[in-house]
Amino acid sequence: MFELFNPQKSLRVLQEKGPNRWDWALLPIVLAIIVAFGFAAMQMSRPFVVGELQTISLEPVYLPYYLLRTMLRMFTALACSLLFSFVFAAIAVKYKAAERVMIPSLDILQSVPILGFQAIAIAPFIALFSGDLLGVECAAIFAIFTSQAWNMAFSLYQSMRSVPAELSEAASIFHLSAWQRFWRLELPFSMPGLLWNMMMSMSGGWFFLVAAEAISVAGQDIKLPGIGSYIAVAIDAKNGWAIAWAILAMLGGIIVYDQLFFRPLLAWADKFRFEESQGDTAQQSWLLDWLRNSSWVRHCSSAFWRRLSMALSWFALSYDGRSPRAQQHPRSMLWGKLWNAGLLLCALLVSYRLVVFIHSDVGWREVGHVFVLGMITLLRVMVLIALASLIWVPLSVWIGLRPRYSQRVQAVAQFLAAFPVNLMFPVVVFAMLSWDLSPNIWLSPLMVFGTQWYILFNVVSGAAAIPNELRLAADNLGVKGWLKWRRVYLPAIFPSYITGAITASGGSWNASIVAEYVTWGKTTLIADGLGSYIKQMTEAGDFHRIALGVSVMCIFVMLLNRFFWRKLYLLADERGS
């Protein structure tokens, strides 16, 4: 047994050691963060009834308060996304039967527009917290969660599948249980890529922030205090100065949480790199240096990790060295067949209900029309992903191999990824009307504007994880030019690229609703495609055609992932094994 945590004893130890100058330097930062988020959390719960007017002022003096409220929502959603990713990836990797359902389900979830999730969640949350603003806040956090979680879950799932064979053999030799294997091997190995995808998920939350904070329910518009609502009001008012102030506030917020949160985590995660020496690729963080020099932080972190290690020892169950996916007992095979039969039955039932719905409510001609629109959007997605890959893969590898530049562009990349496409509408509308450009062509880049960064962040994390020994060996052998890319760089970043491309593809389908239907004031530009169809049906209030458009989008995303991206995933597994 071990000694339970004793707060009085820990405080006495801290008092005996005494604070140093680093403790006093960190104290105001910690207190400021606690007070700021505590104040914002208090504002989330207050009396509220649907229909109550929520005033959003465009005065710049209110922007720090709006920024604080937005960041609290985003970090709450990020924490929920991280917990979801842990559970999802651990189950999907360990159990093949569950994987058959979970991975296609994730394909569907990432293709469902954020407006669809919000329409489902807003009424239950308001009913759960009746008469309190907390219900609307939870609905907004849930909407932000849906823009963050799928990318992180895919990243962790892919990384856990790519654990090197020698590390898996070492885990088998030490008889690690499944719980210990996750915390001691799979999660540490996946940590660098997961952190880069957490940054991208935060940026993805900014990208859809307007839809998350400006909510419509029961014919009422609810605008929660935040940057997203501020942008929505500024667009309605066609106030260019307010939009400029919102952009500056976003940039300031991104720089703050990059320096205080992501930069220290990336520098800390360098110890999980799969190599014997860090070389010149180590991340640097002034805050992490302060934390490491602080006697209080050092003592508290040592106590935390010691107790976590003890907690892990509770689950030291017998482990026979084989992955649960590889165990094929007769009983498990029988359950596998029953599981597959159940899945087939569910698929047949869903297909039957879909046929009845189409025949009675929308008609087969409408279905054919929607599938043609889906093919148009599919063509846009594939062309844009290909162009983005040609641009960002070489540049991301170059950045990932040079940590000095990586740290410099980190905040810039987060800002560009977070930039809501809605803020570009005035420029887009003005340019297209002035030069008489075709919406079918020139609105298309808006689809990938906020999603191409998934490729950048994933490939940067993959390139940064290339062992220094491998790079030195290639240099010693005189491997240069295209041969070095083909033999070293591309195989190393291929799994990370597939993860980024899958999430970028799914995000592009989601963004098509914004990109194919652009409004600024009374001016509206419409491109042919599935996204504009869903947007038009949403404005018309035609629920049956909204459901048809979303269903067709889910079908396209599932088929694309199943027969294209999943094949590349398997190829990445074969290359890594």
- pLDDT value of position 174: 80
Q: For 44-273+280-284+338-576, CATH number?
A: 1.10.3720.10
Higher pLDDT, 385 or 293: 385
Higher pLDDT, 401 or 418: 401
- The single-letter code of the amino acid at 519 is T
- pLDDT value of position 1: 35
Tens digits of residue pLDDT in 439-476: 888 888 888 777 788 888 888 878 887 877 777 888 78
Angle of CA points 261, 267, 269, to nearest 5° = 95
Tens digits of residue pLDDT in 326-365: 444 555 566 666 766 776 777 677 777 767 777 677 778 8
- pLDDT value of position 412: 75
**DSSP readout, 235-299?**
HHHT-HHHHHHHHHHHHHHHHHHIIIIIHHHHHHGGGGSSSS--TT-----HHHHHHHH-HHHHH
Q: Round to whole Å and give the CA distance between 181 and 185.
A: 5
Q: Round to whole Å and give the CA distance between 101 and 85.
A: 16
Helix axes 63-94, 21-43, angle to 10 degrees: 90
Strand partners, 220: 217
Percent of the chain with pLDDT strictly greater than 90 = 9
* Three-class secondary structure assignment of 499-568: HHHHHHHHHHHHHHHHHCEEEECCEEEECCCHHHHHHHHHHHCCHHHHHHHHHHHHHHHHHHHHHHHHHH
pTM: 0.76
Question: Does the pLDDT of residue 77 top 50, yes or no?
Answer: yes
Mean pLDDT of the chain: 78
* Res. 67 pLDDT band, cuts 50 70 90: very high
Angle of CA points 135, 141, 143, to nearest 5° = 105
Angle of CA points 92, 465, 470, to nearest 5° = 120
Question: Taking the CA of residue 317 as centre, how many other CA atoms within 13 Å lie in the half-sphere pointing to its CB?
Answer: 6
How many residues are given for the chain?
577
Asked if 516 and 532 touch (Cβ cutoff 8 Å), the reply is yes
Q: Round to whole Å and give the CA distance between 485 and 535.
A: 43
Average pLDDT on 316-325 reads: 43
Domain ranges of the chain: 10-43+286-318, 44-273+280-284+338-576
Residue from 72, 81, 221 nearest 148 by CA: 81
Residue from 48, 201, 33 nearest 139 by CA: 48
Average pLDDT on 384-410 reads: 83
